Each structure stands twice: as structure tokens, then as C-alpha cells.
Structure 1
Amino acid sequence: MPRPLRIAIGGIHIESSTFSPHLSTADDFTVTRGNALLARYDWLSPAQPWATDVDWVPVLHARALPGGAVDPEAYRLWRTEILDELVKAGPFDGMLLDIHGAMSVVGLDDAEGDLVTAIRSVLGPEPFVSAAMDLHGNVSPVLFAHTDLLTCYRTAPHVDVWETRERAARNLVDALRRGQRPHKALVHVPILLPGEMTSTRIEPARGLYARIPEIEARDGVIDTAIWIGFAWADEPRCRGAVVATGTDADATARAARELGEHFWAAREEFSFVAPTGSMDDCLDTALLATADPALRPFFISDSGDNPGAGGADDVTYALERLLARPQIRDGSVRAVYASLVDADAVAQIADLPIGSPVRVLVGGRVDPRDPGPLRLEGTLEAVAEDPAGGRCVSVRVGGLSVFVTSRRMQYSQLSSYRRLGIAVDEVDLVIVKIGYLEPELFDAAGDWLLALTPGGVDQDIERLPYKNLARPVFPLDRDFAADLTAVTG
């Protein structure tokens, strides 16, 4: 009987804005090892038929909410541990690389390329490496060269995260059992767009991703994947990409070129997933709209400081504009602001009795852009522990509940609001630091606007001070012909 396949599992998963002053440190990450790492993957418990007769070896997985660039010392320690564990537990037939694909590390311009190069130096040239990624990651030439199979999410918002990881693992096992190294083809598409312009809820991204099942069902093709890329890192690798893998070289290259051409042809059709405007424009519309019960709760995305894309989570611009509205101050409009991270402010007030008056500076400590820290004067109305945000408080100012958290978090789930006593269907207006609305908020919203606010993940990317991007790239450049040549391997 042949011996079981031996496959290592590990990776570092974060997307990082180089335009955010936040530094992602080890404290921002959840690190799993051993059985806790294997328990993340439901195809192992109980094992799916394709996953049996495989010795799955956990190495290390580190994951964090998107943030600023990663502290190089934290990255170095995890990289070293991954390499040491691979040496200790090897040899391996393959590795599942569970990553985001848009990690930035201070001092590196291709963090995942650095990681996979180091991994390959330990594994050797023969084992197969399969990467599962976010579609907002980047496929650099180095990452492509050192992996054998690459796939990514096919939905934004991402509702197929675990399906993607399983597909990457299954494709790896299948390839190892065939005993044939897959053919692969990469087409870089010179487009750089924020995720909020490329949601698969709407065209053209919906139709673009809908082409994948038909193309990958063709003879000789294993998988096709489209990366939008990550717009908030100033690195040469940041741009769209298409990768196809297959058992037939010609079919694989054709698949990559075809999807790349469709992606490029649609470049002028991409638009924001919701109507946009300045924060004041959005508030003007929302405050009028809340008179209609059918439009409540009305959501506004404070998109420039979205922690789900790497924003610092403490820019106070949107809160200042909100507090300037008399309908908010006098309580005639019931609203929620979610949220600001400020551990010091939480520590100052969280132990007070509920109902206590509070006067505290909030925000502007990490990203101090105008207006900087704000004086919040109101009443402490709730205190809660949140698995993501740590100790959290809600301060009532007129008709507004302001959420302040001890740790950076994104208020994308209704349960997080409920912990602080808020049922969103009972309020008029919700301002949330987010980009496109995640599924629970999208379903709850009566209507929605995307505010183009300042921050480390500014949606108006033409306002960002890029210096290191490979140019030309659309839409920063428009009058050029794209080179859609497929790089094969």
C-alpha cells in the first residue's frame, strides 16, 4: 500500500494599507498551531473522501484584521517558525498556503513573495504548493513562480472563504495523486480598483466571475481565478491578475488569456457598489430619507477609515460631521456611530455606573488627520465585552450612540450592535466604518450610501500619493495599450 500523502498547512493572513499610519503588531494577530489549526478546516472533521489517506501537518497560521504594514520583527518570528517546523516535520509532498495575498511588511515590497521563497527553499523544488487567497490579494511574479496552484475567492463580499480553502486543498491532493505537476498561466491586468467598485453583487464583476465555472469545466483546465488586486498598498505588484492551472498547457494558457481580456475590456464599466458623495452630502440625503420608514435604518459607510480594508479605525472626520447636525444633537434623529478604537478612552469611562455623564477625548491617536481627537460629552449608556473589540462602550450624545472599542474591529455583524443594546431596525441612521455592506448589514439596510471620507483606505484612489506602483495602470493612467501576454510555467 502506498504511504499517505504528507501535506503541511500554514500561512500569514492580513491585508495591509501602506497609506495607514497603523502598525500591525503581534498583538493584532491570532496565531493557531497544532490541532487548533487543523480544526479550522471542516473537510478534516470528519475527513471528506478526497482528504483521506493524507497526513495533514499543521505548521503555523497567523491572522489579523486588516491594518497597516506588519511589524517586521513579528513577521520574521513567524516566518522563522514556519521554516523551522517544515524542517522538523518534513519531508512533505506538498503545502497548503493559507494567505490573504495583500500583506505588507515594513521594509519589503512583496511580503508573500518573500514568504513563499523561504518556504520553497526549505521544501525543495519537488513538493507542490497550493495557495488559497483573497481576491483582493496580489499575484507577484515571485509568488506565481514558487507556487503550483493558486486560487482565490469568487465573491465580494466574501461568502465563499472556506469553499476556496477547500478547493485549494482538494486541487492540491488531486494533483499529487495524478503525479503530474500542473501547468499554469498568469496574465497581469493593468487595472487597480478599490473593492467597492468591484463587488460581485453587480456588473461587471458579477458577470466576469460568472465566466469561471464554464472555463474551468473545459478539458485540460483545473482552476481559473481572478484577482482584483489591492488598491491601498504602494507596491509594484498591486494590480489585477488572472491565473489558470490545468493538465494541458495550451488550454491553461487560453483560459488565462480569455479571462484577462474580458477583465480588461470591462475596465470602464466598473463603478461604486452604492451611490457616493462626501460625508456631508451623504448626511443631507440620509437625514431627509429617514422620514420614510421604508428607508430606515439608513446606512452610511465611513469608507476611508474602514478597518476591514486596513484603516486605522480612529479617524474622527465622519463623527465630527455627524455631531454638527442639529437633528442629531437634539435627538430628533436616532443614530449610531460604529465605531472608534480608543483603549485609553474606554479605560477612563467603562467602570462608571451606567447613566453617568462622561467627558472624554476619543480617536485621532493613531491616524491624527483633521480634526484629530474629539471631545465627546454625553452619557455612558452601555458597556460590553466583544470577542473582536475587547471592552466596548456606547456613549449617548443627543440622539446618537457612539461606540468606542478597546481593539480595532469592524461592526459588520448585528450581534456586535446588540451587545451594546442596539437593534439596528429600531434606529434611523447607522454610520459604520466599512466599505461595501457585509451581508447582515446589507439585508438590514433600508437604503445605503458610500461616503468618500478621508483615511488610510481612501476610496478615491487618485487622491493617494502612489510612488512605487508599476505604471501605467488604469484608472490612474488611461491612454495606453495593455500587455495581456500570458506567463506560463
Structure 2
Amino acid sequence: MKLFMASLATETNSFSPIPTGWSGFREHLYTKEASRGEAGLYAAAVTIWRCRAEERGWDVAEGLSTYAQPAGPTVRHVYETMRDDILTDLRAAMPVDLVLMSMHGAMIAQGYDDCEGDMMARIREIVGPEAKIGLELDPHCHLTEQMLDNATAIICYKEYPHIDVKERAEELFTLCADAAEGNITPVMRDYDCRMLAMYHTPFEPMRSYVDRMSAMEGKDGILSVSLVHGFPWGDSPRVGARTLVITDGDAELAEARAQELGQDLWALRDKLRRFPPMEEGIDRALTVNGAPVVMADFADNAGGGAPSDATFVLRAALDRGLKDIAFGTFWDPVLVGMCIDAGVGAKIAVRIGGKIGPMSGNPVDLTVTVRGIARDAVQHLGSAAMSMGDCVWLESDGLHILVNTRRTQTFHPEAFENTGMDLGAMKYIVVKSSQHFYDGFAPIAAEVIHLATPGAITPDFTIIPFTKRDDSYWPKTENPFN
């Protein structure tokens, strides 16, 4: 047996003002040897696949692995160059029995609404009808007919936050290897739930829903079950939640179970979590007995394509006179460089945030003291190491602000602690993240409050200005099945 594997991933916010170009991909992960020691979310799958294949004595050919922080549509020639690089290496590796790809599922490039589907179709054209193609996706994807028509098996991470990337990579390898060896015949069917929502899996009702999905697998011919959450800020005709079931050769069973799970999700829609408006959420934080209270600046999440320099919560904290409050991370490479040059202990006048556009709010001018510096800092999402670049901790009269050079959301307390900041001394912590922070911060929090803040990915799914899909989804339409 021979395996070819690669990874090309980003999540596209169609409404972000930040283009996704070469710098976005090359600053995070860009290598053809990711399986030999690279850290990070999108190196995890190829690392596992190499180990599993070599344990079986298979030949392994590895193409490009690359990832860009979510932003606006990828520049056309950048996408085409990376895609063609992977396809050229695949042709050189032929014949292969198995192709495994780690992608995001919500990548949009100029001229391409469905980069993953485009990649699957081109891979299928090269390898022919008999080779097996496996695709691992982030659940915040747009599951398309082109993906389904050309892949042998598609598996999404089950957890949000995404702490099960490695487990799903193992699962996909086993499923596709069994198919390549003739032991099973995977058949996929999906169901359109006609919903746009956030499905936070640590909380009910989603915790029980995901556990039920997992319990179905390996029984009665069901090989895999995935919930596609959809990425609400991607302007795709397929944006929205879908259930996906893979069975062993039984299309009717796959279709029936996908529909059943989709209808069960629809029945839960009014029980899904809703988030208080920013001021209301801050009011609630002030009543909590205990510290720190962790507040999520939902709409300024770089992981959803936001700039990560919005000042709305910072301004509210100043207006309320809050002290012992930490904010992070603000993306500003220029400011970080200035503060590193000034050095720890320096007192300087700075302009915080509000630089990218209206969705960032207005800049805030403060006189700050540089309290800490961390070079080449790293934080973790589960076991995956995520680069932050250089970081500085700035303090202004009880406000503690973390600023960094690589646009990224906040995953873990170590994001702050890298600079020497003591989160145990804080009453409040404001993280620029929608949910991936939860696994790291919940253990230290007296309470976690998701704020429906203004910004690039505000969680009001009735006002997203789609141009490529209709209004037949809840909550935009109360009953889109009519």
C-alpha cells in the first residue's frame, strides 16, 4: 500500500477586510515535512497518518502542509499555487492506494467558493475511481456535493473547542485503510438541518447530542457520524448545519440516520446557548462571587477572521472604572516592537486597537508601563502548540493588556502567563475568542460569560449579509421547512 497525504487549511470570513495571502500561510505552517516534528493543529493529522502507515509497512509520500489564520478570501494565485504544488507531488507519487487530506472545509478563494471541493475533484481525477480519498475537516465547514461526490470518507472534529483533532485523524485513517484493504465499503449521506447557530459541546444540550453521535459508531453498520456546524460568516450557498453519516455499504441507513440526527438537532434549537449583549454580560460579571470571571469577546475572534484589535470591551471597562482586569490578545506588531525597544519598566503613551477598520471600534489612547515581554511565545489548544509571536504585557492603572505580533485568538492562560502576568491576581479576564479558550480557562474561572460583542463575527445570525444563500435557515426564518 502507498499513502499520499497533505494539508491545506484556512477558514474564510467573506466579510473580513484582511486578505489571506502568502504571509498568512507562511507565518504559521508551510512545509513538506510537517509529519516529522512540526507543532500545531494542522500538523497533527499528517503526523498521525505517517506513524500509522509506517507501522503497517506502507510507503508514504508527503506533500505541502500549510495553514493561515482565518481572514478574508484567499488571493486566487496563492490558492492555485499551493493547490497545484500538492497535485504535482501527488502525480509524482503515483500510483497510490490512499490519499488523506487535512483541510478546514470553509476555505474560499477569489474565483473559488469551495476550495476543498475543488481539491477533492482534482485529486479524484488523478488517482482514479479505485483509490480511497479521506478528508478530515473542522466542523465549521461548508459540506458540499463536490466534496461528497469525490471523497471516500469525510470526518469532522466532534468537539468545540477542537480538542479531538488527533482522535478524528486516527479514526479517518482506520476507516480509509479498512476501505483500501477491501474490508468495508463506506457510503456517505448528509442532511440539511437548515440552522445557523453555535454548538458549544461542553454544555447541554450539545454534550449529550455529541455523546449520542459517538455511541452510534461501530454498531449496526454505522462507521462514523459527524455534525457539520457550518461557518456562519462564510458566504457560501451551503453555509449551515448538516448531519453526516457513513455506513458500510448501506445508503438507505446512512440517509435515515442523518435525517434522524438532523431532526433531533432541529428539536433542540430553542435550548441552544444564547449570549448576553456586552453591557448586560459585564453587569452579570460584576455580581459574580469569586474571581476571576472570564468574559469572551466573541466577535473579535481571530479564529473567525476578526482583526483581534477591537476596543469595545476595553472602552466599556474604562467607562466603568474597572480594575484588575486583563485583556488579550490585541494584534499590533508595530506597538509590540515599540514596547520591546522601550524595555520592561518603560512608561510610554500608546494607542491600543481600533486600527483595522470600523469593526474594530475606535482606538484607545493610554499611558502604560511595559510589565513583561515574551519572545516567540506559544500557547496550547489541547496538545497542539500554537504560535503567538512576540508578546508584551502593558499595564495602565489596573488594566492589563496583552499585545502580540501574530494574529491569533486566545486559547490558554499561558498566553498571558508567558509575559509573567499573574492571572490569579485578576478579578476579570477578557479573551478574544468565541469558544476555543474554554478548555484552558474554565478550570481557573469563577464563571465564564460569552459576550455578544460588536465586531466582525457578532453572533446575530439574522443580519449576516449573505449574497450566495437564501433566507431558508433558522433563526432568519422561523420555520425554513415550510
Counterpart residue type for residue 265 of structure 1: A
Structure 1 residues 421 and 210 mapped into 2: Cα distance closer, same or farther (>3 Å)?
A: same
Q: CA shift at 1:407, angstroms?
A: 1.5
The secondary structure found in structure 1 opposite 2:142 is: coil
Structure 2 residue aligned with 1:9:
5
Q: Find the aligned partners of 2:30 and 2:359 in 1 and give their Cα distance.
A: 35
The secondary structure found in structure 1 opposite 2:171 is: helix
Q: Find the aligned partners of 1:302 and 1:188 in 2 and give their Cα distance.
A: 30
- Matches for 1:136-147 after TM superposition, within 5 Å: 136-147=140-151
Q: Does 1:153 align with 2:157?
A: yes
- Matches for 1:25-64 after TM superposition, within 5 Å: 25-29=21-25, 30-37=28-35, 39=37, 40=44, 41=46, 43=48, 47=52, 51-64=55-68
Structure 1 residues 442 and 390 mapped into 2: Cα distance closer, same or farther (>3 Å)?
A: same
Q: Find the aligned partners of 1:38 and 1:111 in 2 and give their Cα distance.
A: 26
Q: Find the aligned partners of 1:33 and 1:421 in 2 and give their Cα distance.
A: 32
Q: Find the aligned partners of 1:266 and 1:277 in 2 and give their Cα distance.
A: 20
Q: Find the aligned partners of 2:255 and 2:182 in 1 and give their Cα distance.
A: 20
Unaligned ranges ≥5, structure 2: 38-43, 379-386
Q: Find the aligned partners of 2:127 and 2:310 in 1 and give their Cα distance.
A: 44
Q: CA shift at 1:95, angstroms?
A: 0.7
Task: Spell out, residue by residue over 1:143-195, the C-alpha distance to the aligned partner (whole angstroms, 9 max, x if none).
Answer: 111111111111112221110011111110011111664222122221111x3
Paired-residue identity, %: 25
Runs of 4+ in 1 over 6 A off after TM superposition: none
Structure 1 residues 173 and 46 mapped into 2: Cα distance closer, same or farther (>3 Å)?
A: closer
Structure 1 residues 245 and 288 mapped into 2: Cα distance closer, same or farther (>3 Å)?
A: closer
Structure 1 residue aligned with 2:41:
none
Aligned residue pairs total: 462
Structure 2 residue aligned with 1:210:
211
Select which of 59, 67, 70 maps to 1:66: 70
Root mean square deviation of aligned Cα = 2.1
- Contact 1:220/1:252 (8 A) holds in 2: no
Structure 1 residue aligned with 2:269:
267
Q: Find the aligned partners of 1:92 and 1:370 in 2 and give their Cα distance.
A: 48
Q: Find the aligned partners of 2:454 and 2:103 in 1 and give their Cα distance.
A: 28
Structure 2 residue aligned with 1:132:
136
Counterpart residue type for residue 314 of structure 2: L
Structure 1 residue aligned with 2:195:
191
Counterpart residue type for residue 448 of structure 1: V
Task: Spell out, residue by residue over 1:39-58, the C-alpha distance to the aligned partner (whole angstroms, 9 max, x if none).
Answer: 54554675489x51322221
Counterpart residue type for residue 204 of structure 1: P
- Contact 1:315/1:368 (8 A) holds in 2: no
Structure 1 residues 462 and 45 mapped into 2: Cα distance closer, same or farther (>3 Å)?
A: closer
Structure 2 residue aligned with 1:486:
none
Q: Find the aligned partners of 1:181 and 1:7 in 2 and give their Cα distance.
A: 18
Structure 1 residues 223 and 44 mapped into 2: Cα distance closer, same or farther (>3 Å)?
A: closer
Structure 1 residues 397 and 100 mapped into 2: Cα distance closer, same or farther (>3 Å)?
A: same
- Contact 2:350/2:368 (8 A) holds in 1: no
- Contact 2:48/2:169 (8 A) holds in 1: no
Select which of 16, 20, 26 maps to 1:20: 16
Q: Find the aligned partners of 2:18 and 2:367 in 1 and give their Cα distance.
A: 26
- Contact 1:68/1:310 (8 A) holds in 2: yes
Structure 1 residue aligned with 2:381:
none
Q: Find the aligned partners of 1:401 and 1:407 in 2 and give their Cα distance.
A: 19
Structure 1 residue aligned with 2:302:
307
Q: Does 1:232 align with 2:233?
A: yes
Q: CA shift at 1:256, angstroms?
A: 2.1
Q: Find the aligned partners of 2:184 and 2:393 in 1 and give their Cα distance.
A: 58
- Contact 2:136/2:156 (8 A) holds in 1: yes
Unaligned ranges ≥5, structure 1: 483-489
- Contact 1:187/1:243 (8 A) holds in 2: yes
- Matches for 1:272-311 after TM superposition, within 5 Å: 272=274, 276-289=275-288, 292=289, 295-311=290-306
Structure 1 residues 33 and 421 mapped into 2: Cα distance closer, same or farther (>3 Å)?
A: closer
